[in-house]
Chains A and B, each alone.
Chain A
């Protein structure tokens, strides 16, 4: 479990502040819905920047959750996490959720993409980039097998999701639903939702560093153990 320990301010006085009162409800609802808040959520980000210690105490007392923040590539992001060994007061099944299998797969793809564009300020990807990645990258065979289940033929517009009413199993639809969910989590932000163009946010680091540290950061040990167990 991920856990951050910052110095807390142990009171609720911050709730008296006018700006906090105006923007707290929205910030709270975004954080509880799993969102990672970065500086493009202007008011929510400001509120968190100026009251982080107080809010950390608040979430610990009221929800038994940890308010965490990290800084990657000059951008700070805030999010809620479970304390070690527990799911806090969100332990009720309705109050947390598993990532879907497609989210985990696309998460690892995007995390890699982030590092391919390490020096670019805006890490923007569009649908053409995704198609090129699948058809022309050095891992094209693996991508194509995973998304089409075959290497032996040309893929139809329907399979890509290029026809007028793309089915839910098309590649485009799979990416779209996962990216929609990532947008709600704040790991990407849409530039053009209809045609699929988005920016990968630095908060996606949480995926690799905090949600999958054993499987990604410590990959050598993970794979040894995985091969032994399976």
Chain B
């Protein structure tokens, strides 16, 4: 990104129009599309539209038109190049209107392109045809970044928007009468089957990525060989080769990351579909019972809200409303140190000490905290171990900061770190890589080296 935050801050109010201004340019575009106004319109026509919007959407009487014209003149309305007495919408305004239209009508422009054609064209390439790093960079920028990536994201965004809208509508079903509800359920089941099939199709088309991964690996390998070839004799060319290799590695990592993210998104979409479909099935068989349950719940809520009372200490339930009980046993583990001296056999006078309750409580608390700490360490370690077993590598520093951030206790992170390093050292399938540079994060003034654990078995199977 090339624009600074300060620059954006200055221009923000001109770039993102207010609600009234957006309604005006949107309505203007509608009028142009339906041929009621010409592409090139007069200022009076624009003023008429502003007045109409002010009345229709109940903006305060006396809203000034001049400031609106002023605001729109920055980025949204310009003089017609052919006729200076006329105005026209800027390209930016056209793109802004299109963006809103696509978002609200679930028509992502990229979702109209055939995903399969695009991916076939751009992901199925042959590394041998990439004669130089520039060819690869060109493919990365144009074939991947500007085309495949946008088409894939467009298709998924479109699916996600449709699912969100359906789920929002479906949550209203339980408020409908039975006949209407059954009709709606059938409609949603069909809709969801279609969306589910689309998601599965996208996933199968995305398998082209496997071929792309192999070819990219070959390109990266070639670039690495260039470094070896120039070694010892051509310093400048070697430096260039090294630079190209590092860029290629960076592109490869970006591509892998992108597809990992997409896989997760598709999983998420399929899970949402699966869950909503199973809820629909369940509702089909139990609609009456569920609708009645929901109605009673709502009535109980109305009753509780209206009859309960505000109280400074604790809100009060309606008079005589029963209070439920639940089993509640707090388990404390205490340990005593077995330091008894058996050599001294002296009669002791029993002194009844007054027990120090505060001290006792604080000791019990300490033990409890220690147990909780051990339990947390165990859970973190087991969790990260299972992550390692499924990945090529993990960044240990990242996880340690996550622990510090979540548990707010440095000791837990330190213990987890030691345990995992010890585990990795003893495990022949794992390798520890420590880069003695500080990890680029700083939390609570704690800085640690950049540490990775690499899963060699996983890499070799990949």
Contact = CB atoms under 8 A, between A and B. Distances in A.
Interface in A68-126: 73-74, 80-82, 87-88, 90, 94-102, 104-105, 108-109, 111-112, 115-121
B320 A121 contact: no
B306 interface: yes
B326 A169 contact: no
A60 interface: no
A68 B16 CA distance: 56
Contacts of A34: 326-328
B410 interface: no
B315 A105 contact: yes
Interface string B302-323: 1111101110111111111111
A29 interface: yes
Contacts of B293: 115, 208, 217
B320 A143 contact: no
A160 interface: no
A65 interface: yes
Nearest to A215: B300
B275 interface: yes
A99 B326 contact: yes
Nearest to A109: B301
Contacts of A95: 327-329
B310 A96 contact: no
B407 to A, nearest CB: 11
Interface stretch (A3-11, A13-21, A45-53, A222-230): A222-230
Nearest to B305: A142
Nearest to B386: A42
B58 to A, nearest CB: 18
Contacts of A82: 325, 327
A47 B211 CA distance: 43
B310 A146 contact: yes
Contact of A74 (B275, B313, B320): B275
- Which of B271, B312, B313, B325 gathers the greatest number of chain A CB atoms within 10 Å? B325
Contacts of A158: none
A130 interface: no
B314 A104 contact: no
Contacts of A196: none
Nearest to A73: B279
Interface string A163-193: 0000001000010000000000100000000
A149 interface: yes
Contacts, number: 150
A80 B326 CA distance: 8
A111 B317 contact: no
A230 B320 contact: yes
A120 B167 contact: yes
Interface in B375-402: 375
B132 interface: no
A117 B168 CA distance: 8
A64 to B, nearest CB: 11
Contact of B305 (A111, A117, A146): A146
B355 interface: no
A135 interface: no
B322 A101 contact: no
Given A101-B316, A145-B310, A216 B300 contact: yes
A98 B312 CA distance: 20
Contacts of A220: 296
Contacts of A226: 318, 320
Contacts of B167: 119-120
Contact of A118 (B171, B302, B317, B326): B171
B186 to A, nearest CB: 15
B272 interface: yes
Contact of A96 (B298, B301, B304, B325): B325
A160 to B, nearest CB: 14
Contacts of B214: none
A105 B325 contact: no
B301 to A, nearest CB: 5
A64 B247 CA distance: 67
- Which of A100, A111, A120, A169 gathers the greatest number of chain B CB atoms within 10 Å? A120
A153 to B, nearest CB: 14
Contact of B330 (A33, A143, A185): A33
A146 B316 CA distance: 9
Contact of A108 (B279, B294, B304, B375): B304
B324 A98 contact: yes
A45 to B, nearest CB: 14
A88 B308 CA distance: 32
Interface string B285-304: 00000000110111111111
B291 to A, nearest CB: 10
Given A105-B308, A120-B171, A148-B310, A33 B328 contact: yes
Nearest to A219: B296
- Which of A119, A174, A219 gathers the greatest number of chain B CB atoms within 10 Å? A119
B249 interface: no
A98 B324 CA distance: 6
Contacts of B104: none
A114 B436 CA distance: 49
A102 B313 CA distance: 10
Given A33-B328, A118-B171, A98 B301 contact: no
A185 B309 CA distance: 25
B319 to A, nearest CB: 6
B276 interface: yes
Given A109-B301, A118-B174, A217-B293, A32 B325 contact: no
Contacts of A211: 324, 326
8 contacts: A34-B326, A74-B278, A97-B326, A101-B314, A101-B317, A142-B302, A143-B305, A216-B296
Interface of B: 167, 170-171, 174, 271-272, 275-276, 278-280, 282, 293-294, 296-306, 308-310, 312-331, 375
- Closest CB pairs A-B (n = 5): A142-B305, A149-B310, A211-B324, A32-B329, A121-B275
Given A96-B326, A121-B271, A211-B326, 20 more contacts: A26-B375, A32-B328, A73-B275, A82-B327, A96-B327, A101-B323, A104-B324, A105-B304, A105-B317, A115-B293, A117-B171, A118-B170, A118-B174, A119-B170, A119-B171, A120-B171, A146-B305, A146-B309, A208-B293, A211-B324
